[in-house]
Amino acid sequence: MHQLLIKNLAADSLVKMQSHSILSSTFLPGFYVNKNGYLTDANEHFYSLLGIREERSLLCHLNCFSYPLFIACGLSEKIQAAFTSGMSMKNQCSLINEAGLEINLEYMLLPEYQSDGNICGCLVLLNKLSTAEKIQPDPLLAEALLKHIWEQSVDGMRLTNSKGVILSVNEAFCRMIELERSALEGFDITVMYDTSHDNGQRILRRYSENFHSRQLQSIRESPLKLLSGRTIFVEVSDSFIETQNGETCLFSIFRDITQKKRIEEENKKYSEELRQSNLTKDKFLSLVAHDLKSPFQSILGYSSILCEEFDDLNTGEMRDLLNKLYSLNKNVFRLVENLLEWSRLQTGKMSFSPAALNLEETIQEILRLLLPMAQGKKIQLSSAVSTKFEVYADSKMLVSILENLISNAIKFTPENGTILISAKQVKNRIRISIKDSGTGIAKEDLAKLFALGEHFSSPGTNNEKGTGLGLLLVKEMIEQHGGVISIESEIGKGSTFSFTIPSNW
């Protein structure tokens, strides 16, 4: 069977295998020339043959069309002829290397084709001959060379006839499809596939149609489901060769590209996720810009009145305008502060330093800050959190979480309402709840509260303004602690925001 391959080495089938694979596996000196004549790859045997020490310095600098040593021995002319004719060839020459030693060589020139049929380069393999060998060339040289390449190649190789019978495979092919050589050679190609769904005849019929019509892609990629049930992806290079008795066979080279495909799919997935993330963030920033613009318009309006009508305003009117300006500025500051904190979280620039904290003390500190705001609406703001609870959290983040949630509860609770903060132990976590008797949230709006890019913000019971950014910030800070946030709400009866945070027990 190897003699069959040797006979057809001159055909352009075998040389479609990647040249680097051949150069790295063969014991023969060899190099690769691109279509412009430059040396782009070579093995150490080649440099040794030429008597060159600085091996890599030749790459992309040595032009084989004009290299004096190759011109002198006629090899340069033969390489150019191989590019012109597109035919593989074998011949002998006498080369004087860089050290001045005369070496008798047998060389093989193997043009390499692109998938569009154009020649992209030429693989050159050399064999050092003795004087006797030059007078009487060894007829087994090509066979030994092909046998070595066949067995040492990292790519799988398969030879089949017109009926789809497998004539020969190499060891790499057996490893790839997880079958022994004895289970493949002599059987038709369906032994490679899972034919449990009676598709064997269909496979053979398609093979026969393509074989006889010669309609085969020179290089193709396809999935291959193995008998073991595992699916791999292969890159297949097909070409036709003729045997000594005139029979046409199909020579196929298989390369396992499963890992490459997996990486491509992962990159595609990540690219789409990144695209969606960028679109969402763009939409989100657009909404934030809109929410920033609105209060600034009011600030400009009130400021204009103060400037233009200052002398006509009485003390009460001025106090009213200044209170409105203060409220607007406070809201804008809170929005910008939340936006900056959210930005630092997204870029990983916000420090996260968890430590043991007394939960009740932290809550009382926040209640003292927010009590005036609650008293302004006659809201009863209280805590039922035990002094025994200790949490393991970042102090600044915990304060921000609680302040945002309690502020929201005050905002959406009407006058004379109630807000209660409570906590309970749940395994190794503390579940903290903020329950209000406010307006409540419709079921269809609950999912929008934490969706980046969704604009869900409604005025409070006293027409307080907001953007919803605070809740996004709260969610991310809670998740930074490995916790979760949940909401229970009913229109007209109020809401309960609950979240978990690690216990220090």
Write out pLDDT tens, residues 101-115.
Answer: 889 999 988 888 776
Of 94-108, 261-275, 338-352, 460-474, the range with the lowest mean pLDDT is 460-474
325: domain CATH number? 1.10.287.130
Six-digit token pair at 245? 């008795």
Where a domain ends, among 227, 256, 285? 256
Same domain, 56 and 190: no
Report, as an integer, the average pLDDT of 291-310: 78
Are 492 and 355 in a shared domain?
yes
Is residue 32 located within the same domain as residue 180?
A: no
Residue 145 placed within a domain: no
| Confidence grade of residue 10 (pLDDT, cut at 50, 70, 90) | very low
| 93 and 172 inside one domain | no
pLDDT tens digits, one per residue of 23-77 = 877 888 999 998 899 988 888 888 888 887 655 555 657 889 998 999 999 999 9
Residue of 364, 499, 505, 357 whose CA lies nearest to 432:
499
Q: Which residue has the higher pLDDT, 131 or 441?
A: 441
Q: Are both 417 and 485 inside the same structural domain?
A: yes
Position 149 in a domain: no
CATH code assigned at 388: 3.30.565.10
* Residue 173 and residue 131 share a domain: no
Domain boundary among 350, 375, 400: 350
Q: Of 319, 350, 381, which marks where a domain is finished? A: 350
Does 338 fall in a domain?
yes
Residue 96 lies in a domain: yes
3-state secondary structure of 65: coil
Residues 63 and 75 in one domain: yes
Residues 491 and 358 in one domain: yes
Work out how many domains the chain is built from and give that number.
Answer: 4
3-state secondary structure of 27: coil
Q: Is the pLDDT of residue 7 over 50?
A: no
The answer to whether 272 and 247 are in contact (CB under 8 A) is no
Structural domain includes residue 146:
no
503 and 363 in one domain?
yes
| Contacts for 374-381: CB closer than 8 Å, 24+ residues apart | 374/410, 374/419, 377/410, 377/413, 377/414, 377/415, 377/417, 377/461, 377/462, 378/415, 378/416, 379/410, 379/413, 379/415, 379/416, 379/417, 379/418, 379/419, 380/417, 380/418, 380/419, 381/406, 381/410, 381/419
What is the extent of the structural domain holding 364? 351-505
* Alpha-carbon gap, residue 76 to 12, rounded angstroms: 20
118 and 206 co-located in one domain: no
Tell me how long the chain is: 505
- Residues 395 and 281 occupy one common structural domain: no
Q: Convert the pLDDT of each residue in 369-382 to its tens digit.
A: 888 888 888 999 99
Residues 172 and 242 in one domain: yes
Asked if the model's pLDDT at residue 361 lies above 90, the reply is: yes
Q: Is residue 147 part of a domain?
A: no
pTM of the model: 0.44
Quick one: pLDDT at residue 14?
Answer: 47
In a domain, 403, yes or no: yes
CATH number, domain containing residue 185? 3.30.450.20
Task: Please name the residues in contact with 428: beta carbons below 8 A apart, sequence gap of 6 or more.
Answer: 502, 503, 505
Question: Is 179 within a domain?
Answer: yes
